[in-house]
């Protein structure tokens, strides 16, 4: 005898499909995952091989000890490799004393990341978390796990949450967003690229607010520096970077790593005691190091021109801001002669923004998000876990870092293609209907061209 299955309640299938999404969006689940990820990454930073917290323990702490002990203050009394505000989190980490400096540093990073995570997920308020925000939050946690200890063990870790919040606030509070991004740029220069992207992509009052915020913040920082007695040293970080060679992890150094592995005369890896990093040596290295600066300028100019092209063709900020930010940041990574592993952390803010805006008609973020996680995972293998294999130019490691560097180039190409399409699709969307078509729809007003008194950018909801 066949027993008929009991009837399913209407909408039961839909409810069962929605259950995992509701669980993933629950504040308790999100924050539990956030804490767990930071505990795992923080533990690896404290215990992993090749000193993942080496810069924090040996360099940052020493700089602050010298200043507090009556010696020179970096960035004020003598030129420094970082902008002035980088000293703030380094000094704050002394709150736990020298013995607990690393733990205090990780706590600062945890608190900053928590602030950015709260903004991204809508805090604890019910009904404020869209699927785009929740997906971006889970992606960021996955990215942190993939990148590992270097994601929290360098000064770049301080800038990432500022950059994420700054990008997310550009729609509703462009002035505050600009201040956050500019403060981050005075910690580590790279977020300045996000300020430029905002100036290009936004319109009207929002653009003016970004410019005013950036200029006012910069003037304030410079004024404080001058009061402290820095003089021209406030810009010393520019000159400190100029004389560097090719760092082993940089894409440009890949060719010399292979030459060293092949035993070519004069090609080898060495430690530079002045700038405390490993670099490559060999025929043509000096010329290549100088040319990377030229290449960086050319690629950044290309990104800028593609962004301006998209703006001229009517691309809205919702379509333009994420790929433009990603293209600028990736260009700085690919063409950089330094190539430190922590640079990969810069990818998080533009990808997070892209994932949020993709739900609202922005460029597809799936490919950049997947590439960024893959790049981060390969980077963690390179540093800290198998860094000695890189320094020993072992062939398997050279294959891995070549793949990683190639993936960074691919990510740049993807961002450039998205920029091109943003301008092309905007031109198509804005083309007038055929004159003989009585049923052709009326051309809609571009949200970015609305009245000055309206919300600065009603087409961006982040």
pLDDT digits (tens, 9 = 90+) for 209-242: 999 999 999 999 999 999 998 888 888 888 766 6
What is 378-430 written as a DSSP string?
A: HHHIIIIITHHHHHTT-HHHHHHHHHHHHHHHHHHHHHHHHHHHHHHHHHHHT
Cβ-contact 151, 307 below 8 angstroms = no
pLDDT digits (tens, 9 = 90+) for 35-59: 999 999 999 999 999 999 999 999 9
Q: What is the pLDDT of residue 427?
A: 58
d(CA 320, CA 316): 6
Q: What is the pLDDT of residue 444?
A: 39
Of 231, 269, 256, the C-alpha closest to 73 is 231
CB atoms inside a 10 Å sphere around CB 317: 27
Tokens of 287: 């010329």
Cβ-contact 89, 44 below 8 angstroms = no
The CA radius of gyration of the chain, in Å to the nearest whole number, is 24
Where residue 7 falls among pLDDT bands split at 50, 70, 90?
A: low
d(CA 69, CA 64): 8
Would the pLDDT of 1 be above 80?
A: no
* Average of per-residue pLDDT values in the chain: 87
Among the residue ranges 280-289, 333-342, 360-369, the one predicted with the least confidence is 360-369
Q: What is the pLDDT of residue 119?
A: 95
Give the residue, 31 or 449, on which the prediction is more confident: 31
Give the residue, 235 or 367, on which the prediction is more confident: 367
Name the pTM for this structure: 0.89
pLDDT digits (tens, 9 = 90+) for 125-140: 544 457 789 999 999 9
Would the pLDDT of 447 be above 90?
A: no
Among the residue ranges 153-167, 240-254, 293-307, the one predicted with the least confidence is 240-254
Cβ-contact 92, 109 below 8 angstroms = no
Decide: residue 153, CB within 10 A, 0-12 exposed, 13-18 middle, 19+ buried: buried
Q: What is the pLDDT of residue 132?
A: 83
Where residue 243 falls among pLDDT bands split at 50, 70, 90?
A: low
In eight-state DSSP terms, residue 247 is: B
d(CA 351, CA 81): 27
Would the pLDDT of 75 be above 50?
A: yes
Taking each helix axis as running N to C, give the angle between helix 254-261 and helix 395-429, from 0 to 180 degrees, rounded to the nearest 10. Answer: 160
Among the residue ranges 129-133, 266-270, 275-279, 443-447, the one predicted with the least confidence is 443-447
DSSP β-bridge partners for residue 74: 78
Where residue 71 falls among pLDDT bands split at 50, 70, 90?
A: confident
Would the pLDDT of 333 be above 50?
A: yes
Give the residue, 132 or 309, on which the prediction is more confident: 309
Domain assignments of the chain as residue spans, ordered by start: 31-426
Of these ranges, 173-177, 419-423, 437-441, the one predicted with the greatest mean pLDDT is 173-177
The predicted model gives 405-434 an average pLDDT of 79
Taking each helix axis as running N to C, give the angle between helix 131-147 and helix 12-25, from 0 to 180 degrees, rounded to the nearest 10. Answer: 50
Q: Distance from CA of residue 274 to its chain's centroid?
A: 27
pLDDT digits (tens, 9 = 90+) for 89-116: 999 999 988 899 999 999 999 999 999 9
Q: What is the pLDDT of residue 419?
A: 95
Among the residue ranges 128-142, 270-284, 297-311, the one predicted with the least confidence is 128-142
Decide: residue 98, CB within 10 A, 0-12 exposed, 13-18 middle, 19+ buried: middle
Of 395, 280, 294, the C-alpha closest to 339 is 280
Would the pLDDT of 398 be above 80?
A: yes
DSSP β-bridge partners for residue 409: none
- Please write down the HEC assignment for all residues of 48-114: CCCCCCHHHHHHHHHHHHHHHCCCCCECCCECCCCCHHHHHHHHHHHHHCHHHHHHHHHHHHHHHHH
Would the pLDDT of 428 be above 80?
A: no
DSSP β-bridge partners for residue 281: 268
Cβ-contact 459, 447 below 8 angstroms = yes
Where residue 360 falls among pLDDT bands split at 50, 70, 90?
A: low
């Amino acid at each position: 005898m066949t027993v008929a299955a009991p009837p399913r309640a209407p909408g039961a299938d839909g409810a069962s499909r929605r259950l995992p999404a509701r669980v993933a969006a629950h504040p308790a689940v999100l924050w539990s995952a956030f804490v767990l990820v930071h505990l795992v990454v923080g533990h690896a930073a404290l215990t992993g091989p090749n000193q993942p917290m080496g810069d924090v323990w040996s360099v940052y702490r020493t700089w602050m000890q010298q200043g507090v002990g009556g010696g020179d203050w970096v960035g004020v009394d003598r030129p420094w490799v970082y902008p002035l505000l980088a000293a703030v989190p380094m000094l704050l980490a002394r709150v736990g004393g020298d013995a607990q400096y690393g733990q205090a540093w990780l706590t600062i990073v945890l608190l900053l990341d928590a602030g950015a995570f709260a903004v991204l997920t809508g805090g604890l308020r019910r009904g404020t978390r869209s699927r785009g925000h929740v997906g971006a939050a889970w992606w960021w946690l996955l990215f942190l796990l993939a990148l590992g200890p270097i994601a929290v063990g360098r000064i770049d870790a301080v800038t990432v949450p500022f950059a994420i919040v700054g990008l997310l606030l550009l729609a509703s509070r462009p002035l505050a967003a600009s201040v956050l991004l500019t403060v981050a740029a005075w910690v580590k220069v790279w977020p300045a690229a996000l300020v430029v992207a905002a100036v290009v992509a936004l319109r009207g009052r929002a653009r003016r607010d970004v410019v005013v915020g950036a200029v006012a913040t910069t003037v304030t920082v410079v004024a404080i520096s001058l009061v402290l007695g820095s003089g021209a040293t406030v810009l010393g970080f520019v000159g400190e970077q100029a004389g560097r060679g090719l760092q082993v992890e940089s894409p440009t150094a890949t060719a010399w790593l292979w030459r060293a592995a092949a035993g070519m005369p004069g090609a080898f890896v060495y430690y530079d005691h002045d700038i405390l990093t490993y670099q490559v040596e060999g025929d043509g290295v000096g010329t290549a190091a100088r040319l990377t600066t030229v290449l960086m300028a050319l690629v950044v100019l290309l990104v800028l021109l593609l962004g301006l092209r998209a703006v001229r063709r009517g691309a809205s900020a919702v379509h333009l801001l994420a790929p433009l930010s990603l293209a600028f940041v990736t260009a700085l990574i690919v063409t950089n002669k330094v190539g430190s592993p922590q640079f990969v952390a810069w990818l998080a803010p533009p990808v997070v923004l892209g994932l949020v805006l993709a739900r609202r008609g922005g460029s597809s973020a799936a490919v950049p998000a997947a590439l960024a996680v893959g790049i981060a995972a390969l980077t963690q293998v390179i540093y800290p876990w198998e860094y000695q294999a890189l320094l020993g130019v072992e062939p398997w490691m050279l294959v891995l870092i070549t793949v990683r560097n190639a993936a960074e180039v691919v990510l740049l190409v993807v961002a450039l293609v998205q920029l091109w399409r943003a301008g092309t699709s905007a031109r198509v969307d804005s083309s007038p209907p055929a004159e003989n078509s009585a049923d052709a729809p009326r051309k809609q007003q571009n949200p970015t061209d609305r009245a000055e008194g309206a919300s600065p950018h009603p087409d961006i909801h982040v």
